[in-house]
A and B are shown apart, each in its own frame.
Chain A
Amino acid sequence: MAFFIVLGLLVIASFLIVVLQRGKSKVGLAWFIALVASAAAWFVLFLLRLFLPLNLELLSWVPTELFQGTLALSLDYFSWPYAIAIMTLCVASIFTETTVASKKDSSPRWVASLTLTALTLVSLASATPLTLTITWSLIDIAELFYRLRAANPEKDQGAIVRIFSLRVFGTFALIFATAVAWQVQPDFSFDQIPSTAGLFFLLAAGLRLGVLPVHLPFTQGGADSQESKFLFDLAPVASSLTLIARLPGDFLTLNRTLLIIVQVLSAIAMLYGAMMWISRKTATQARPYWIITLSAFALQCALNGDPGSSRVWGLALLLSGGLLFSFNPPIRRIRFLPALGLVGLLGLPYTLCASGWQGVLGQNFGIVSVGVLISHSLLVLGYVRYIAEASGVVTGLEKHARITFPLGLIIIFQTIVLLGLIAWPGVLTAGVWWASLISLAITVLVIITLRVLGIRDLQQDLAYKLPFYRILSPVIRFLRVIFSLSWLYNALTWIYRQVFRLENFASTIIEGDGGLLWSLVFLLIILLFLASGVKLS
């Protein structure tokens, strides 16, 4: 019931703001309502930690023997940490977005943030695949219409439709994964996913996250993008991550070939994402790759038979990422605040990510484990780089924003710390301490090397100051093309065009003058073929 209070607070607040803004615009009051409601919801949600697990049945499709479909929510140690992370990002976004409040009325964005948060909370608390399918679609459609309403008609539309279509494909993948599991047990909840279907659920989550196969289901902010839309990119990810965390651990019993394909694709996404993350111009541009890389980490955990560990990487994605992406404008004087986000990323013993190393590295240290360590180092390096490049000045902020902006960042950091302590039983652990040390060592080594070579700006200095850059550059470009799978997408586009031509040709013939006879001849052939299939006793 208390969970409905959280949802109610968010929905009522957004409704109130909409009503309020119908008349004379009262931006201050709207912001205050959004802040109070989200903070109250955050507080109530935190209290719910004491009552886990919570199960709520919403609706059962009748007749049950026909539909076998239950809409239910469940707040447990898998969904609650993500719920808190999303709620924190919502509060933080309302705090930090005041920096741009003076330019135009931000209240529609607050309404969208509150609504999206409410929908995401329902989505990640989904107890059954049917509930998750429905909430995914709800989020996608709501987001589509919101983005289309807000988008610049000249350039954004294509990206919005692309994102929407990829998410819908992910939703359908979930429907098919559910069907596979249905054969073993109809109308199951997420804690009963049969191991035979686990991999298919992972594929669904991977598709939605942009990992399987690697693609960008998120917006890429322009270099000059001032709008902070991080919540809109990060929130839809949360429910997919929750799904991964809930998967059964015994994947290895399944189709070995498929498992290897998924593992390779996931590793490619991880390496490619990390490479792209460090090499983008701004953090906003690099955001999709941050999501892909850490999602791939979460996927690796599941593939290694420890899906529970994926939670820490998911939380790092949301919270450390949220901290960095909400640092907009990047003000040099307070750059120590987003730097605190490294606590949630480095994976040092007794921090949030410490318990995730075992899952992502697996039982046996292999080639993928090396890839994980390299990717992790690249993530940390990129994180440090984007903070180090902060060049804004505090005078650029509104007066009130000089308090609220840092406060938003601090809220995220303190959630990282809190979750590192209480997210679920056993979260506070030393973990695989040497893994974090190796990653840290690689990071430090690279930083020292760059300093020695005199490379201060990766975008500009690399070409001049890195030895053998001319040899390395085409190699990196080649790897980038291979890992991005653009060749695969180009090949598929080519095949689509050829089939399109063939279809046009066939249609012209079959709808033309002699088409009827062609149709009948084809039908006769098919019938004869089928007749041979009807074996008579």
Chain B
Amino acid sequence: MTKFLLTAAVITGLLAALANLVRRKWLFNILALAIQYVCIFIVFPKTDGFMHALIKIIVGLMSTLIIYLTIQNTGAVKREPFEFKLSAGELFRMLSAVFLVTLVVLASPWLLKEVFPQSNIYILILSLGLALIGLLQLGSKTESLYVIIGLLTFLSGFELLYGSLEFSALLEALFAIVNLLIAIAGAFFIVKDLETETP
């Protein structure tokens, strides 16, 4: 059961990140980001109790909420009807991400054995997958909202990996501050861009 849950969380988390990379629909993206954090909570190691995983999901959802509320209040990004058809760019991003995730899945057993023996295969696949998809998003998009989502995805992936290797309260606190500040920075950018657009 646990294995099934973990596998489902890994797949869902990666799909959510993939959705963020491919599509540009604000509600969809915010929802996917929230799902990502829930999946991270499920996969996060709980050997020292639930507290650390709980911090992660709270901070993650708070960050998502900050961005959501900003968009909601400013109406910065308009709702558009959802289309299933993929454009060429979207298809390219999706294929790149699928390729990277495949690589991660293939390399994970070796990485687990040689580099990160303290971790486990689920954490490794989800964390590296998220980090790489985040990186791809950072490299392929320049709009501030999507860069911020990319940053949060990348950092969440890394935090998950690092959480399986070592724990430090100070570091966790710093991670939390960084995540929240990045979300605030995202909100700041959204408001700022809107101000400069409206004369």
Contact = CB atoms under 8 A, between A and B. Distances in A.
5 contacts: A513-B142, A517-B135, A517-B136, A517-B139, A520-B139
A391 to B, nearest CB: 72
A516 B134 CA distance: 13
Interface string A51-78: 0000000000000000000000000000
Contacts of B102: none
A516 B140 CA distance: 8
A346 B1 CA distance: 107
B155 interface: no
A20 B140 CA distance: 70
A74 B160 CA distance: 71
Contacts, number: 13
**A-B residue pairs, 10 tightest by C-beta:** A517-B139, A516-B139, A513-B142, A516-B138, A514-B139, A514-B140, A513-B140, A520-B139, A517-B140, A520-B135
* Chain A interface, DSSP helix/strand/loop, else mixed: helix
Contacts of B136: 517
B20 to A, nearest CB: 17
* Chain B interface, DSSP helix/strand/loop, else mixed: helix
Given A517-B136, A520-B135, 11 more contacts: A513-B140, A513-B141, A513-B142, A514-B139, A514-B140, A516-B138, A516-B139, A517-B135, A517-B139, A517-B140, A520-B139
Interface residues on A, range: under 10
A520 B138 CA distance: 11
Nearest to B141: A513
A463 B197 CA distance: 73
Nearest to A518: B139
Interface of B: 135-136, 138-142
Nearest to B140: A514
A505 B140 CA distance: 19
B138 to A, nearest CB: 6
Interface string A250-291: 000000000000000000000000000000000000000000
Nearest to B138: A516
Interface in A509-535: 513-514, 516-517, 520
Contacts of B139: 514, 516-517, 520
A513 B89 CA distance: 13
A274 B28 CA distance: 81
B139 to A, nearest CB: 4
Nearest to A513: B142
B93 to A, nearest CB: 11
B71 to A, nearest CB: 23
Contacts of B135: 517, 520
Nearest to A515: B139
Contacts of A516: 138-139
Interface string A482-514: 000000000000000000000000000000011
Contacts of A513: 140-142
Nearest to B139: A517
Contacts of B138: 516
Contacts of A517: 135-136, 139-140
A516 B137 CA distance: 10
A508 to B, nearest CB: 14
A517 B135 CA distance: 8
A514 B142 CA distance: 9
A503 B98 CA distance: 34
B54 to A, nearest CB: 33
Contacts of A514: 139-140
Interface string A469-490: 0000000000000000000000
